[in-house]
Amino acid sequence: MSVVLRDLRKPHFAALPPLALYVHLPWCVKKCPYCDFNSHEQQGSLPFSEYVSALVRDLEAMLPSIWGRRLTSIFIGGGTPSLFPAAEIDALLAAVRARVPLEPGAEITMEANPGAAEAGRFKGYRDAGVNRLSVGVQSFDDAMLSKLGRIHSADEARRAIAMALETFGNVNIDLMYGLPGQTLAMARADIDEGVRHRTQHFSAYQLTIEPNTMFFSQPPKLPGHDAAADMQVMAEETLGAAGFEHYETSAFARLGRRCKHNLNYWEFGDYAGIGAGAHGKLSFADRVTRHERARQPREYLAATGDAQERVIEPGELPFEFMLNALRLVEGFPVDLFAARCGLPPSLIESRLALAEGKKLIERSAKRIQPTARGRRFLNDLVELFLPAKE
């Protein structure tokens, strides 16, 4: 009797990862000068119904790849999704439920801009099935908001948070630090005010200058590296003292309120991406693939569910896994690597040993996690897992 041994350098999955759905709604009122997302300024009336129909076609084209699987979460991002009428969000979510089963209690998040916030519309989103709202505040300082090119005021942000908390049981606010001309005291005032609103989740992250943005071609004067690092430490300490768990580089949650959708990204789960420019990752029995949709809304609307798809080479999987999992403050269980990559941990043992020797990670028989030094020099840590050059 012959025995067939599988190639340990190629993925093999005994069970597939959890599956989430990301929906991209690409329009905004005004493009922010720091934004490198696939967002497009509104020009006249928007084709809301036509776009939702395209999203449904997109999802239907993907059904053979996800047949029999359940969605653990849905995230509606942008752009500014709150530009869409509640009736269109209702139609979208109804179409998703009719085609793909959801896990009981699935988290359904939607992003909202304070400048496009209305109490009646929030109630409509809740009635459509949205059960978590993420409000893009960025700052409670009108001068900072002006420098960031935001269309809302600090008072509008406060009202939007109050409406969100009244309507939803689970609310996140986004705040940035390291803003043009910002001091440590100013950053502290933003974080302190954010805490006073008593939301369930908090995202606090440093402004970075990205290519293909206005700030890249016309860079503002930002606080220096040490000043920004002081702001980061201040945010972590202030939010910790207020009862938030720091569970990911920029994410803080009250007990039991971690973002399930983003955790799925960081734990290298699967996600289907629909909408203009949306990306996704799907695992099969013997491979992991990525897909990407047309970026321009006009091109996307003219498409018929087509996507660019590629198989992730096995040699790239360790880097892609670590790029996500090492953002988690608590790290990850040792067996998660094999479960998500379909590869044996022995393939990365030498790199883990190197990272441990540099005091960038610490590990036990059950868990691998970044040290405080590893979190501070995360790019250096992740680079250790880059594919070997041929």
Same domain, 70 and 139: yes
Give Cβ neighbours of residue 367 (< 8 Å, ≥ 6 apart).
Answer: 330, 331, 332, 333, 334
CA–CA dist 237, 233 (Å, integer): 6
User: Average pLDDT, whole number, for the chain?
Assistant: 94
Q: Are residues 251 and 350 in the same domain?
A: no
pLDDT 10s digits, 156-198: 999 999 999 999 989 999 999 999 999 999 999 999 999 999 9
Q: What is the pLDDT of residue 7?
A: 57
**198 and 49 housed in the same domain:** yes
Q: Residue 37 — very low, low, confident or very high, per pLDDT cuts 50/70/90?
A: confident
Phi-psi region of 313 (alpha: psi -120 to 50; beta: other; left: phi over 0): beta
**Do 220 and 95 share a structural domain?**
yes
CATH number at residue 101: 3.20.20.70
Q: pLDDT tens, 96-124?
A: 999 999 999 999 999 999 986 677 899 99
Is residue 43, in this structure, part of any structural domain at all?
yes
Q: Are residues 374 and 236 in the same domain?
A: no
At 388, is the pLDDT very low, low, confident or very high (cuts 50, 70, 90)? confident
Q: What is the pLDDT of residue 3?
A: 38
Same domain flag for 170 and 247 = yes
For residue 150, CA distances in Å to 35, 80, 219, 226 come to 11, 12, 17, 26
**CB neighbours of residue 264 within 10 Å:** 22
Instruction: Specify whether 247 is located in the same domain as 338.
Output: no
Do the domain assignments include residue 298?
no
How far is the CA of 61 from the CAs of 92, 214, 298, in angstroms?
A: 15, 36, 19
Angle at 116 between CA 184 and CA 58, to 5 degrees: 110
* Bridge partners of residue 24, in order along the sequence: 77, 275
Question: Residue 306 — very low, low, confident or very high, per pLDDT cuts 50/70/90?
Answer: confident
Distance, CA of 82 to CA of 78 (rounded, Å)? 9
Domain boundary among 233, 264, 295: 264
CATH number at residue 364: 1.10.10.10
Q: In what order do the strands lie in the sheet with 132-138?
A: 245-248, 251-253, 201-206, 171-177, 132-138, 102-112, 71-78, 19-25, 270-275, 279-283, 288-292, 308-311
Q: Has residue 2 been placed in a domain?
A: no
258 and 329 belong to one structural domain? no
Q: Give me the pLDDT at residue 118, please.
A: 73
Rounded to 5 degrees, what angle do the CA atoms 261, 265, 267 make?
110
| Whether residue 98 is found in the same domain as residue 25 | yes
Sign of the dihedral defined by the CA atoms of residues 107, 108, 113, 115, in that order: negative
* Residue-wise pLDDT tens digits, 311-359: 999 999 999 999 999 999 999 999 999 999 999 999 999 999 999 999 9
Which pLDDT belongs to residue 8? 58
- Residues 329-362 as b or e (16 or more Cβ within 10 Å = b): bebbeeebbbbbbbbeeebbeebbeebeeeebbb
Residue type, 116: A
DSSP, collapsed to helix, strand or coil, labels residue 282 as: strand
Domain around 367:
325-385
pLDDT at 305: 67
Same domain (yes/no): 92, 202: yes
- Determine, yes or no, domain membership for 213: yes
What is the model's pLDDT at position 358? 97
The domain tally of the chain equals 2
Residues 239, 105 share a domain: yes
Residue 312 falls within a domain, yes or no?
no
Question: pLDDT > 90: what percent of the chain?
Answer: 88
Q: How far apart are CA 312 and CA 129, in angstroms?
A: 34
Residue 1: pLDDT band (50, 70, 90) is very low
Q: Which residues contact 235 (CB under 8 A, 6 or more apart)?
A: 177, 187, 191, 204
Main-chain dihedrals φ then ψ at residue 91, nearest 5 degrees: -65, -40
To the nearest whole percent, how much of the chain has pLDDT over 70?
96
Could you tell me the two tokens for 231? 């702001």
| Cα separation, 108 vs 75, whole angstroms | 6
107 strand-pairing partners: 73
The reply to whether 113 and 200 lie within a common domain is yes
Q: State the Cα–Cα distance between residues 18 and 120, nearest whole angstrom.
A: 34
pTM for this entry:
0.95
The SS3 of residue 82 is helix
Report the range of poorest mean pLDDT among 30-39, 127-136, 160-169, 193-202: 30-39
pLDDT value for 390: 53
